[in-house]
Structure 1
């Protein structure tokens, strides 16, 4: 996650748009199709794709809003040209197989949406703006003619899972269920520090640092986090150029986003969920960006909030992009099984 955070800086009427060519349908059923959906948030027009699976004419479908991870991640879950795992597009396909419609959209800084109203002052783009955009997308999904407003789901990956958790306690109607996939489950800067220290430990194991150097760098990372939270310049003296550049990127134009994202402690947001809300929380044993241990407090908070199952599901050998060694470019079978458990009535 942290390698994309520096790019992270970079609400509500549904509008009908163009429909794609339909697939062949079973007689008597409306064929599956995608169509472009447009909605507005804070004066910015956002663009998305609604996938409607095959269904009976007039049928109201369960539907899920898909939310991407951190950085400039578009409606398909990609950061072109460097990264194109199609995470959200693959989730849409998987949920379509469960007869669940999906809406995914280009968030601020990506795809057709771009920076919108923040084009001339990107330094004002903070995390709450992304939450409001997601709330607008949820309203758009709710108002589509094929969706059942009482059977809505929110499915978020990484940072998008944290956003989905926030939506779970704020939107109307409340979602019937949430999927928190490899979620950002602790404060942003705590997660960054954890990731960096894990990489420093591995470098020490490989002989690139001495144990004393490791302690010095770890202390510098902790000091940098403290400085950011105290609105003070970061001392980069004991940081490598790469780490210094990372923390420098968290200041300046990105400071408002980082500060507002870091202010959210996901376990606290769980208390606003409607009791009985179905929640799936996944963590992969090969996920170096969001280790399973980081989800412990959130898992406990969900129990206290009386959330329904499936609860936390550990995914063997699955990484942050929800792949495993045998499925490096598609959702791993344990991920599909976990989604099926959430979709099961």
Structure 2
């Protein structure tokens, strides 16, 4: 009898269940946006931090999102003329992989405005935008939800060139870069290539004669040379729209154009930490950044011993990362390419 009773007690002990207090169960924090404020060169900049749903106390991978050229705000828009929501859509795509994001209003846009450059905008140069992006990276690094050792930088167009510069200078170094439709050659070389492609198309359509095409191409080349030699560009032989463009590159914008054009992106790749994961995309329908312009940068990244996914060609995708079936949202190949980076 005693032996049977002891066996029963042992059996009961074997099935005893420990009850976990409710407060010990991790609390799920819903996804949310909040305004972020940081300072660069005496200017207060404003941005949006998007934090995906996560367990309380969890440190998340996080990405800084950098816009393309011109007055492009935190969402990737240039209101009222253009509102593709490029950066807002990138934040949404990265949320699906559990990655927090920070996007901000750069100089001349949104709540940030010109800030300290308001009274002397002609002194605003490209390095000022890089310093602002670096301050944004540091702000993202210091957020309580982010893992400072699992940071990414995602740049679109000119923002991709800025991402390359940050990748070799910030601390801690980012674990990965997404260079989306990047400015991969010098600014004025890219402008000349774009203009000559448009001139060739106008000639093909019979709007210009071959002789006119030759004259205009020569004038574009001469204008680029003049700007690089700090001389006024002669716009006499240029169509009005192209002449206005080169005039805009001078005077108020001269310092920015000169400092942006001074950067050759393939050279910056050498400063990246070996093993840094890099995604570089180019779209076959991208007239602004043709895939051929990314060849030298792709080679430089390989020589720097960066990791994959490397260059990914996006069929039928344009500069805003849309295709014919997705004119207002990120095309599926773009999302797939991003996932290839975040999966690493």
Cα deviation digits, residues 216-259 of structure 1 (max 9, x gap): 10000000000000000111111011111110110001000000
1:81 is matched with which residue? 80
Cross-structure match for 1:262: 261
Confirm whether residue 320 of structure 1 aligns to residue 319 of structure 2. Answer: yes
TM-score, length-normalised on structure 1?
0.92
Q: SS of the residue aligned with 2:65?
A: strand
Residue 236 in 1 paired to residue 235 in 2?
Answer: yes
Q: Give runs of aligned pairs for residues 302-341 of structure 1, distance below 5 A.
A: 302-341=301-340
Aligned to 2:254, the other structure's residue is in SS state: helix
| Cα distance in 2 for residues equivalent to 1:87 and 1:206 | 32
Per-residue deviation, 1:28: 3.2
Report what 1:163 is aligned to. Answer: 162
**TM-score normalized by structure 2?**
0.92
Following the alignment from structure 2 to structure 1, what is the Cα–Cα distance between the partners of residues 118 and 27?
A: 47
1:163-312 alignment runs, 5 A limit: 163-312=162-311
Kindly provide the CA deviation profile for residues 108-153 of structure 1, in whole angstroms up to 9, marking residues without a partner as x.
0000000000000000000000000000000000000000000000
CA distance in 1, matches of 2:62, 2:239: 46
Stretches of structure 2 lacking an aligned partner (at least 5 in a row)? 1-25
SS at match of 1:85: coil
Shift of 1:85: 0.2
Matched residue of 1:64: which SS?
strand
Quick check: 1:131 aligned with 2:127?
no
Structure 1 ranges of 4+ moved more than 3 A: none
Q: Residue by residue, what CA displacement relative to the aligned partner does 1:127-180 show, whole Å, maximum 9, x if unpaired?
A: 000000000000000000000000000000000000000000000000000000
Quote the RMSD (CA, aligned, Å): 0.9
Matches within 5 A, 1:9-158: 28-158=27-157
Secondary structure of 2:234 counterpart: coil
Q: 1:173-223 CA deviation, whole Å, 9 max, x = no partner?
A: 000000000000000000000000000000000001111110110000000
CA distance in 2, matches of 1:72, 1:130: 12
How many residues align? The count is 320
The structure with the largest alpha-carbon Rg is 2
- Structure 1 unaligned segments of length 5 or more: list them: 1-26
